[in-house]
Structure 1
Amino acid sequence: MTNIQIRKYRDADAEVVKEIFTLGMSEHVPSSFTHILKQPPTQMFLMCVFCGLMASSKSFLLPVLAVTFVLAGIRQLVVHMFNKYIDTSLKKDLNNISGTYLQAQDSCFWVAENDGGRVVGTVACLPAEGAPGCLELKRMSVSRSYRGMGIAKSLCRTVAEFTRDRGYAAVVLYTSVVQTDAQKLYEHMGYEKTREFLAPEPAAKITNFKLWEYRLDVQGKKKD
């Protein structure tokens, strides 16, 4: 990684931070759509629609069109779910980053800035609600054109060092089944998968959309 500075968030970064988060989350729509199509209930439903219309109409075009419309509807549902998550995240903390992360105890928000002063990555942490004695890594995202440069690793190290310096035992984080690149990154950084569970949305049970909890113990570890 060259000419990248990790620094604390400033209020002037607000719009670009929200843009990076929104674009990063939207990138998961295609992989989530593919994940849903691979699930047996989805395949069974599509097969029933096709075969049912084929048998009743004696036409090949009608069932093909019907399946096409169903696929389009599923994709729109995925887009809606991600847009809803983005809106919820903006309202929950990203519309007031300073108040959520910089004014709260044992919390922080960092950005990665290139040599031109452009913010190209983000990460944050705060005390984990479900894991006493741990901080939770959140809002990790790097602009697509700056990936592969080690920025995400530096952001991970920043959170680990902050966690250790504040006397917490570990960093925990949550990622989804479709975020395979993130999983590889965290495992490379020493995180261990500790739990998997279905996302809280009702559709998660049907689509088998799982979330994974990762943990990195930091006390006693040397700084990289």
Structure 2
Amino acid sequence: MVEYKIRSYVGPDYEVVRDLFSHGMSEYVPAVCIHVVTRPWVLFVMACMFLSLLVSSKSIILPILAITLSLALGRQLLGYIWNMYIDHCLKEDLQDIQKTYMEDQGSHFWVAEVEDNVVGTVAAKPCDENPDELVLKRMSVRKDFRGHGIAKALSREVIGFARQRGYRRVILNTLMVQHEAQRMYESVGFRKYTEFVLPTVYGQLVNFTISKYCYDILPIN
């Protein structure tokens, strides 16, 4: 078992924290592509394209090349859109981590460290809609350090922080491709209480589902 420690974020962690988030989110691109390609309407369009080209060209090579090119272009487009989301996050709360998470007593940012190397992150801030709820954000663990309980420990750190600060519960969002993360949160005690499709044209087209989880903070008797 890897020995690690969890501590509060400090200024020198800035670049490695941002890189850890970027690399972690980039890992989901292949899963997102598979999710999109397996949508019924996408499969139908590709089947129609294949059959139309097969009939018109009377050659198997052209429709195969067309489908292959379409998949390659789709992969590039989805990768571009996903990178736009990552850039948005880097320019939002991760632009100034100190100001966003460390200057208010109701929010915080932690890192997990192994042999003086940051290998995991998690953040927490009050929910804009309900001040009694704490939002768990920016959970990320370096790929080669997963499976050692680091993500669970980071989750429990947020839960402990919420309990100390008097929050009623901890909430978080996961994407439809984050199956491993969902299982981890459930093992810690989070439960899924609702899910919804992203209310955009793109979200509706590809059934981009977001699941909301919560952990209820029980009062201490």
Q: Same fold, TM exceeding 0.5?
A: yes
Percent identity between the two aligned chains: 45
TM-score by length of 2: 0.96
Matching residue's letter, 2:163 = R
Structure 1 match to 2:42: 42
CA-based RMSD: 1.4
User: Quick one: distance in 2 between partners of 1:31 and 1:148?
Assistant: 20
Alignment of 1:30 onto 2:60? no
How does 1:1-224 map onto structure 2 within 5 Å? 2-114=2-114, 116-220=115-219
User: Quick one: distance in 2 between partners of 1:56 and 1:171?
Assistant: 58
Matching residue's letter, 1:149 = H
SS in 2 for 1:93: coil
User: Quick one: distance in 1 between partners of 2:177 and 2:116?
Assistant: 32
Is the 8 Å Cα contact of residues 111 and 121 (structure 1) preserved in structure 2? yes
Matching residue's letter, 2:186 = E
Matching residue's letter, 2:197 = L
Shift of 1:199: 2.0
Shift of 1:200: 3.8
SS in 2 for 1:181: helix
Q: Which runs of 5+ in 1 are unaligned?
A: none
Q: Give every structure 1 segment of 4 or more consecutive aligned residues whose post-TM-superposition deviation is greater than 3 Å.
A: none
User: Quick one: distance in 2 between partners of 1:221 and 1:199?
Assistant: 37
Shift of 1:220: 2.7
Matching residue's letter, 1:76 = Q
User: Quick one: distance in 1 between partners of 2:113 and 2:95?
Assistant: 20
Shift of 1:2: 4.1
Shift of 1:142: 0.2
SS in 2 for 1:156: helix
SS in 2 for 1:161: helix
Deviates further, 55-64 or 135-144? 55-64
Shift of 1:97: 0.2
Give aligned pairs, total.
221
TM-score by length of 1: 0.95
User: Quick one: distance in 1 between partners of 2:129 and 2:201?
Assistant: 21
Is the 8 Å Cα contact of residues 168 and 219 (structure 1) preserved in structure 2? no
Matching residue's letter, 1:15 = E
Deviates further, 157-166 or 97-106? 97-106
SS in 1 for 2:55: helix
Is the 8 Å Cα contact of residues 176 and 212 (structure 1) preserved in structure 2? yes
Is the 8 Å Cα contact of residues 137 and 172 (structure 1) preserved in structure 2? yes
Shift of 1:131: 3.7
User: Quick one: distance in 2 between partners of 1:99 and 1:202?
Assistant: 33
Shift of 1:128: 1.2
User: Quick one: distance in 2 between partners of 1:131 and 1:84?
Assistant: 28
Q: Which runs of 5+ in 2 are unaligned?
A: none
User: Quick one: distance in 2 between partners of 1:52 and 1:155?
Assistant: 53
